[in-house]
Amino acid sequence: MSSAVSAPVLAPSHGLSRAQVRLALLALALGGFAIGCTEFVAMGLLPNIASELLPGLYASSSASANAQAGLLVSAYAAGVVVGAPTIAALAARFPRKTLLLWLLVGFIVCTAASAVLPSFGLVLAARFLAGLPHGAYFGVAALVAASLMGPGNRGKGIALVLGGLTVANVVGVPAITLLGQAAGWRIAYLAVATLFALTFVAVWFVVPKQPGDPKATIRRELSVFRRPQVWFALGIGAIGFGGFFAVYTYVAPLVTTVTGLSSSFVPIALIAAGLGMTVGNFVGGHVADLNLIRGLFVFFGVFAVALTGLALTAQNVVGLLVFLFLVGAAASALSPAIQTRLMDVAGDSQTLAAAVNHASLNLGNSLGAAIGGVVVAAGFGYVSAIWVGLVLAALGILIAIVSVTVERRTLHRAGGLSLQQDAVLDRALS
């Protein structure tokens, strides 16, 4: 049992063949693939972007220029943080397919703008705007996937949608990084805008129509923030998951400066992390359906070990690749677990809960990238960003422990904790 609070689950859609369901899920995952590309492509092209948009600073200090260019990652994440709860609360009643299509239009326009705007400030603004639809897309897509998969498979449905994002880190981001290195980073962003256009066509044709929640109101959706366990879950994502982005934002200079390899090796390092993310995502989705809380602690433990290993062995090619894989796997396994946890504790505010998970993860994105940039710009080197990631992961574990402890005490006082639930929570804390 994943939580003492049982969230409503949509009944599976009727009248669709298995082939139609698979096509719909693939269309939703294609959107995740495109989002993964637009979110992460800056990591592999950070030096290229910095040298063009910040030429003076790059000439005097490439580390400072790379750190400032890392704000593009933070700006996108900030857009997610703002857009996820706002759009989800305002649009919970809208038909879900229609909402998905409009969100994809936003992605197309803003990603194309990122490619053509001339200055760092304008590109920074475009990256913020491109992040606005992110959380709402994943939130609504997760609800559609849950409907298609049926009860008892929410974690797997969420993992399928997120699977596009993780596969992007194996195939899309390395390929677009190579494209950007060869043809320029602006061409890379235009390629991502094309992916969003293809997703729009796919969703239009194969995703079934689904109504929104007719009972949803802005007030009801926002009432989710009165639940302490929602804040704990958001804190786990925002703080703990931030450890991943403290590392991933600076993969390119880590490879070239610390490991001492050429920039042509950056896509290989991204593939290693992306493979880990793909494996971790589907493992995390499966575990979330079996024992969410226990899995959350196990994944955080692996995450901490992997970050430590990467910090100690990043100078070695084998250590770099092995621990990048493990860092990606552990971090990605946390995502469906946190998403499912939020849906468990959100009550009726399912649309907002599904969306704000991505707000919290991208707050972690922004936090990790920003703090990592501070220590790098201060002259502590790129390995110091990994140690920042470990500190954030440790704080995420602490928040998870507090969350479970508070939940157990609350349920004990209410007399609503069964022996089975008590045993689950005891094992999670042991």
Closest CA to 359 of 34, 132, 47: 132
Which CATH number is 18-429 given? 1.20.1250.20
pTM: 0.70
Report pLDDT digits (tens) over 313-356: 989 999 999 999 999 999 888 877 777 777 777 666 666 766 77
Report pLDDT digits (tens) over 170-190: 788 888 888 988 898 999 999
Who wins on pLDDT, 290 or 322?
322
CA–CA gap between residue 393 and residue 297 (Å, rounded): 11
Q: CB neighbours of 51 closer than 8 A, spacing ≥ 6?
A: 58, 62, 65
pLDDT of residue 16: 66
Domains in the chain: boundaries: 18-429
Computed over every residue of the chain, the mean pLDDT equals 81
- 3-state class (DSSP) for residue 347: coil
Report pLDDT digits (tens) over 90-106: 777 788 888 999 999 99
pLDDT average, residue stretch 388-408 = 87
Report angle CA 348, 353, 357 to the nearest 5 degrees: 165
The count of other CB atoms within 10 Å of the CB of residue 54 is 18
CA–CA gap between residue 240 and residue 76 (Å, rounded): 19
Report angle CA 46, 52, 56 to the nearest 5 degrees: 105
What percent of the chain stands above pLDDT 90? Answer: 22
